[in-house]
Amino acid sequence: MVRVKAHNGQYVLCRVLLDSGSENSFVTFRCAAKLGLKQRSHQLQLGGIGNSTKRHNSAIVNFQAECQHTKGKVNVRAFILPEIACPTPSATFQSLNSLPDIARPLADVNFSKSRAIGILLGSDVYEAIVMSGKVKHDS
């Protein structure tokens, strides 16, 4: 879960999948509409498994995403798609009653509920996200 800055300046919690193997970032039509993001038309060519490609009439949106806990921010340019992935996990399961003590809070406390993914953040912003909140040392 990340906080995404909507068109009206308010932040909205969105369910995100972080995918370092994706060359671009994506957002669903539903999520983009919920955020009220300004869309610009774009022809998108997606490549997939087995070197398959498919053209989509799509749109591009820009938004700012912020980690709930570290407050690290990243500017995202994302292509709009009807759907990013099947609801994740594939089925809701009963989570453990008590999670072991962990140093960091969970990004999604409702991880065990099957729900849609609204945003996929790809390698275009992966490093900025992973490095936010971490201390960098000079070598």
Give per-residue pLDDT as tens, 30-74: 999 999 999 999 887 777 777 778 787 889 999 999 887 777 889
Burial 87-97 (b: 16+ CB within 10 A, else e): eeeeeeeeeee
DSSP-assigned beta bridge partners for residue 64? 75
Q: Which fold has domain 2-95+117-131?
A: Cathepsin D, subunit A; domain 1 (2.40.70)
Choose among 59, 71, 72: nearest CA to 31: 59
For residue 134, what pLDDT band results from cuts at 50, 70 and 90? low
- Mean residue pLDDT of the chain comes to 84
pLDDT tens digits for 23-36?
A: 999 999 999 999 99
What percent of the chain is predicted at pLDDT more than 70?
Answer: 86
Helix (H), strand (E) at residue 11: strand 11-14
Least confident of 12-21, 74-83, 87-96, 103-112: 103-112
Residue 110 has pLDDT above 50, yes or no: yes
- Whether a cis peptide bond, with omega within 30° of 0, leads into 89 is yes
17: Cβ–Cβ under 8 A, 6 or more apart, which residues? 84, 85, 88, 117, 119, 120, 121
* Residues making up the chain, counted from first to last: 139
- Check if the beta carbon of residue 31 is closer than 8 Å to that of residue 118: yes
pLDDT for position 108? 82
Residue 102 has pLDDT above 70, yes or no: no
Each domain of the chain, given as residue ranges in start order, spans: 2-95+117-131
E strands present in 15-112: 16-18, 25-28, 40-47, 53-67, 73-81
